[in-house]
């Protein structure tokens, strides 16, 4: 059985279609316009997205600035309150210190008044003691100068104080010099205007200064008060140096 052969495509089957130059130009223009449109669309899309991000960023920045303003205002308020509280505390401390000083002063005055009352009770109580004369106070304190000291002595007449008691006071400084015991006559060491004589009915205060010689170590100051009229009496008191 004979079979028919199928025709093969060949060069002779190619059909050439002529393309005009104007058609090619239109095609290029169309492609160019399409590309430009794509670029513009991409640019606009990017700008829109960028503006959206910028808006979000601006909103966040505005919120942060508002929070910063609030924090600064709160800080100013806290600082103002702190300064006010500090001032109030300082005023309260000053008031408390002033009250303490006033209380201390009142206590000192009360102690002085109690001492004065006891002193005058002793002075104005005849027969309170068998001794005609007593030492109410005897003290020594540093004076201006390295080796100068001031003494203060208060003598009181006890018992019958209708008359005046008169007499003298003497001092003796007991200590050591060059390792040897020594007793110095206080009369030779007294300063000017030092009181040694007394005459009183109720009490009398005697005071003066003593200058200790260099190289002498004083351990005690001994005071002797001797009344000669109208009654004889003697009081001896030693004060540690």
- When comparing pLDDT for 57 and 15, which is higher? 57
Query: What pLDDT was estimated at residue 1?
Result: 46
Residue 10 has pLDDT above 60, yes or no: no
Q: Do 96 and 198 meet the contact criterion of CB atoms below 8 Å apart?
A: no
Q: Record the tokens describing residue 57, joined without a space.
A: 């960023």
pTM value > 0.85: no
Write out pLDDT tens, residues 212-221.
988 889 899 9
Helix, strand, coil distribution of the chain in percent, nearest 5: 45, 30, 25
Q: How confident is the model at residue 112 (pLDDT cuts 50, 70, 90)?
A: confident
Cβ contacts of residue 196 below 8 Å, gap of 6+? 168, 169, 170, 187, 190, 206, 208
């Amino acid at each position: 059985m004979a079979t028919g052969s199928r025709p093969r495509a060949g060069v002779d089957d190619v059909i050439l279609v002529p393309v005009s130059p104007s058609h090619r130009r239109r095609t290029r223009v169309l492609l160019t316009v399409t590309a430009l449109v794509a670029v513009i669309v991409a640019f606009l899309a990017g700008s829109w997205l960028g503006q959206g991000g910028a808006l979000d960023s601006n909103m966040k920045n505005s919120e942060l600035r508002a929070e910063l303003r609030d924090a600064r205002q709160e800080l100013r308020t806290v600082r103002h309150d702190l300064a006010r509280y500090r001032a109030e505390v300082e005023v309260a401390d000053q008031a408390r210190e002033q009250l303490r000083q006033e209380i201390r002063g009142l206590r000192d005055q009360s102690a002085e008044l109690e001492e004065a009352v006891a002193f005058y009770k002793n002075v104005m109580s005849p027969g309170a003691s068998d001794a005609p004369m007593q030492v109410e106070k005897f003290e020594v304190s540093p004076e201006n100068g390295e080796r100068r000291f001031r003494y203060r002595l208060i003598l009181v007449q006890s018992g019958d104080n209708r008359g005046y008691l008169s007499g003298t006071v003497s001092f003796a400084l007991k200590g050591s010099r060059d390792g040897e015991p020594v007793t110095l006559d206080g009369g030779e060491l007294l300063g000017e205007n030092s009181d040694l004589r007394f005459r009183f009915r109720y009490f009398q205060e005697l005071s003066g200064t003593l200058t200790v010689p260099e190289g002498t170590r004083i351990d005690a100051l001994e005071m002797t008060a001797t009344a000669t009229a109208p009654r004889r009496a003697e009081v001896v008191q030693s004060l540690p140096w």
